[in-house]
Amino acid sequence: MSSRAERKANKKAQKEIEKEFDELWTNPMKKPFLEKIVLNIGVGSGGEELERATTVLKTIAGKEPVKTLSKKNIKEFNLRKGRPIGVKVTIRGKEAEKLLKRLLLVNNDKILRHSFDNYGNFGFGITEHITIPGIDYDNLIGIWGLDVIGRIVRPGMRVRYRRKHKAKVPKHHYVSKLESQYFLQKKFDVDIVEKLNLEYT
């Protein structure tokens, strides 16, 4: 098969997949939505550096971050179980959608194809937090990188996490990798790419 014929076949297959998702989403219990995004900065230690990272996330998200703790002892890195090693903040609902649009601008609205799993999760990194629109450089804070993790789900997923009467969720109710990619393309105008070529001005 020639490359032209192969591209044509791939395009046709993609359109069939998109049509299948559009039909599936007419059922309100099958229509996915962005449940949350989590911003995380790993510091490796506490003290002043941790406070700076906390300030960065608070400035970006407008919410108070929480500290992440080491889960085990690692002598080589001078880590002890229970010690703070980073900060994270979780944003949900409309706030999450609004913030995600800002964060995607850093990577020119592009996400790598391999940054998705088959459970509705996706993620990308931001090397310098000052590239986020609306964030200014502060020489007292410096420049920080952070991880952005998002989760796309269908209605009804809370039965797995609620305190009372927990229940298992069948695999078909999770949002697949292809469906997550199409959701972001349609909802946030994201391009799914094999490689990021970014130029900051």
The number of distinct structural domains making up the chain is 2
Residues 52 and 166: beta-carbon distance below 8 Å: no
The answer to whether 148 touches 103, Cβ cutoff 8 Å, is yes
- d(Cα 131, Cα 104) in Å, to the nearest integer? 11
Task: Flag residues of the chain having pLDDT under 70.
Answer: 1-2, 6, 46, 72-79, 82, 198-201
Structure tokens at 14: 């993609």
Tell me whether residue 199 is in a domain. Answer: no
Q: Is the domain of 1 the same as that of 53?
A: no
pLDDT digits (tens, 9 = 90+) for 81-128: 767 788 999 999 999 999 999 999 999 999 999 999 999 999 999 999
Are 22 and 3 within one domain? yes
pTM score, whole prediction: 0.86
Q: Are residues 59 and 73 in the same domain?
A: yes
Compute the CA torsion angle 38, 68, 196, 134 (nearest 10 deg): 60
Is residue 51 in a domain?
yes
* Residue 200 domain-assigned (yes or no): no
Round the CA-based radius of gyration of the chain to a whole number and report it: 20
Statement to judge: residues 64 and 155 lie in one domain: yes
Residue 4 sits in which domain range? 1-30
| pLDDT score recorded for residue 13 | 76
54 backbone φψ class: left, alpha, beta (φ>0; ψ -120 to 50): alpha
